[in-house]
Structure formats: C-alpha cells, structure tokens
Amino acid sequence: MHVITVNDYLAQRDAEWMGKVFETLGLTVGFILNSMNPEQRKSSYNCDITYGTNNEFGFDYLRDNMTIDSEFLVQRKHNYAIVDEVDSVLIDEARTPLIISGPVETKINQSYVDLKRPVQSLVVKQTQLISSLVSKLKLYLKNDTLL
C-alpha cells in the first residue's frame, strides 16, 4: 500500500504517527524522502505500507523503468494507493511533468560504439541474404518450378 502525500515532512510525520498503529496490527511501515539513497528507498518500499510524495513515487517508477539490471529496482509490485489531498496532487501537481535527464554513463555509450560495426555488418548480410532468397523465389515462380 502506498500513501501519497504532498511533501516529505507529511510523509515522514504520518508514517511515524500512524506507523505505531499499523505495527500493532503486524504491518511494517516505511517512508520515502528525497534525500534517501536507493538502498534506503528499497527498504522502505519493502514495507507493507510506504508513505511518500507523488514526485518520489513517480521518479522512482521512472528510474525503475530505465534500469538495465533488476538488482537496481527499488519499487515493489503496485497494488493500492491512498492519495492524501488528492485535489492538490491530481490537479495542481499534475501540471508539472516528471522528467529525468542527465548525462548517459560512458560505459554504456562505449558498448553501443563497440557494437555499431558488427550490427551494421549483420544488417548488410541480412539484406543480401533476403535479396538473394527473394530473387530465387521470383525465379522459381516465373519458371513455375516451386515445390
């Protein structure tokens, strides 16, 4: 369960305040703050109930969908969410798009550079093979010698 609030202060306050009630019911409670590292985030997401802002949940979702290795995923399966101050989140906050941008890791760039020539060669060979097969097929059809 995700509980979505409008700022980090409310996420932490509500998680600590309501966490006592939920913990007596056997549930674990965590919260997501802008200042947390991926390990802390993953730990909070593994709780039964996770408090955070719409931006934190949104950016974590985007980062998880950009990662190459599943080891770096922080969120768990999405089930339910309660949105506190839903009017603010869905109307006011919805005007601001969540955009992730920045430099690309150089080792990833180098991998693409290293693969460029072999991929180009493969495409040329595939094109030649297909052209040859199409020519043979046309010849067979023209001569009506197709099996």
48 contacts 3 by C-beta, under 8 angstroms: no
Tokens of residue 31, six digits:
């919260």
Residue pLDDT, tens place only, 70-102: 889 999 988 999 999 898 888 877 788 888 887
Q: Over 80: is that where the pLDDT of 16 sits?
A: yes
How does strand 29-31 pair with strand 49-53? Answer: parallel
Q: Over 70: is that where the pLDDT of 104 sits?
A: no
Mean pLDDT over residues 21-40, rounded?
A: 96
Q: Over 70: is that where the pLDDT of 145 sits?
A: no
How does strand 81-83 pair with strand 49-53? Answer: unpaired
Q: Over 80: is that where the pLDDT of 147 sits?
A: no
- What's residue 111's pLDDT? 80
